[in-house]
Amino acid sequence: MSLFAVYSSKIKSSFQSDSKKITFWTGSIIALLAAIFASTINVVGKTMVDPSYGYVEDAIHPLNLAILLGLISGLFFTPFAKGKKSPKKFGKKTFFFVLMLGVTDVLAITTNFFGLNYTTAINATILINTELLFTMIIAVTVFRERIQKRETFPLSLIAIGAIILPMIVDISENGTFLSGFVFGDIMIILAALFFALDISIARHVSNIIPATRISQISAFAGIPFALVLMLIFQIPFDVPLEQLPAIIYMGIFVSGLSYFFFVIALRLIGAIRTVLIYSTTTVFGIAFSGLFLGEEITHVNIFSVIVISVGIYLLRRKFAELES
């Protein structure tokens, strides 16, 4: 081999190595940004539904919020969905599933914000991790995926950290299972179930329809469903103008950019690394709740996060498969 060929090979290898490093760090930063944006959902949401926490006198009804978030998210994804597969080319079954995404999304947002009205943002941030358990259960029961014996222990850790520890503390502090605080916890867990259904349906149709098109149509599809619920329960459409900045932030950064960055990170650094970085949403959510809302971060909260994090780490490959 000539001297020129040797040096050419070294230069090429150096460029490839630098390119991999740049890709890794870019993907990691994007995944971290996705986690940060997603972690603010309960922090900002608490100020919107609970006037005692917020900067406004009038709270916004969760169904009104669901409509506005659907509209903003749908508009956000419309430019990215341009040129993608048209809904006219969807099969009836596929189109039905995409519409159901809108329904589950509205149910998840509504129940989550109803729960936030009764419980703390820290509790909501921890409890929403039950979405991981529900996603696994759906994968086993609906998609017939198998859970191996070695996966039962980390699943148990997530259940202990996300459900058992927070609920035991809340019941012991409030003295009854029927207290408003515990009711809020139950609503958050119900929201996690709807979020898990949303993820599972999206996963089912993702091989047929591009992710941006799914996000666009499902966001718009949830609006009529929310309007029907408002008519049934006679809920007026009333949005305080001072709430608009927070609503726009939620629609663009939480519903839009967090998901968009997550998908980009998947492509750059792979599913496992993305899922592990994205799992820091719980840490950021608790930190922001303490910093911006003044909520007390207890030793139990910290222990719950550690237990959940260990469970996610041990199940990183399985969750990577489900998330991607």
- Tell me if 286 is assigned to some domain: yes
The 8 Å CB, 24+ separation contacts for 155-159 are 155/311, 155/315, 156/311, 157/307, 157/308, 157/310, 157/311, 157/314, 158/129, 158/130, 158/132, 158/133, 158/307, 158/308, 158/311, 158/312, 158/315, 159/130, 159/133
What does pTM read for this prediction? 0.85
Structural domain tally of the chain?
A: 1
d(CA 277, CA 9): 34
Comparing 147 with 155, which gets the higher pLDDT? 155
Whole-angstrom CA distances from 214 to 74, 87, 217 are 10, 10, 5
pLDDT above 90 covers a percentage of the chain that reads 43
The 8 Å CB, 24+ separation contacts for 230-239 are 230/63, 230/64, 230/67, 233/63, 235/61, 235/63, 235/64, 237/64, 237/67, 238/58, 238/60, 238/61, 238/64, 239/60, 239/64, 239/68
- Tell me if 38 is assigned to some domain: no
Comparing 164 with 93, which gets the higher pLDDT? 164
User: Residue 183: its pLDDT value, please?
Assistant: 86
- Tell me if 270 is assigned to some domain: yes
d(CA 124, CA 46): 10
Neighbours of 203 (CB within 10 A): 17
User: Residue 11: its pLDDT value, please?
Assistant: 42
pLDDT tens string 217-253? 888 989 999 999 999 999 999 888 888 999 999 999 9
- Tell me if 2 is assigned to some domain: no
User: Residue 86: its pLDDT value, please?
Assistant: 63
pLDDT tens string 154-195? 889 999 999 888 888 777 776 655 566 788 889 999 999 999
Structure tokens at 170: 């809340």
Structure tokens at 87: 């809904």
What confidence category does residue 9 fall into, taking pLDDT thresholds of 50, 70 and 90?
Answer: low
Backbone φ and ψ for 184, nearest 5 degrees, come out as: -60, -40
User: Residue 67: its pLDDT value, please?
Assistant: 94
- Tell me if 48 is assigned to some domain: no
Task: Please say if the pLDDT value at position 268 is more than 50.
Answer: yes
pLDDT tens string 57-82? 778 999 999 999 999 999 998 888 77
d(CA 251, CA 254): 6
- Tell me if 14 is assigned to some domain: no
The DSSP line for 292-316 is HS-----HHHHHHHHHHHHHHHHTH
Query: Are the C-beta atoms of 36 and 262 separated by less than 8 Å?
Result: no
Domain that holds residue 67: 61-235+251-323
What confidence category does residue 15 fall into, taking pLDDT thresholds of 50, 70 and 90?
Answer: very low
What confidence category does residue 92 fall into, taking pLDDT thresholds of 50, 70 and 90?
Answer: confident
What confidence category does residue 304 fall into, taking pLDDT thresholds of 50, 70 and 90?
Answer: very high
Q: Which amino acid is at 252?
A: I
- DSSP state, 84? S
pLDDT above 70 covers a percentage of the chain that reads 87
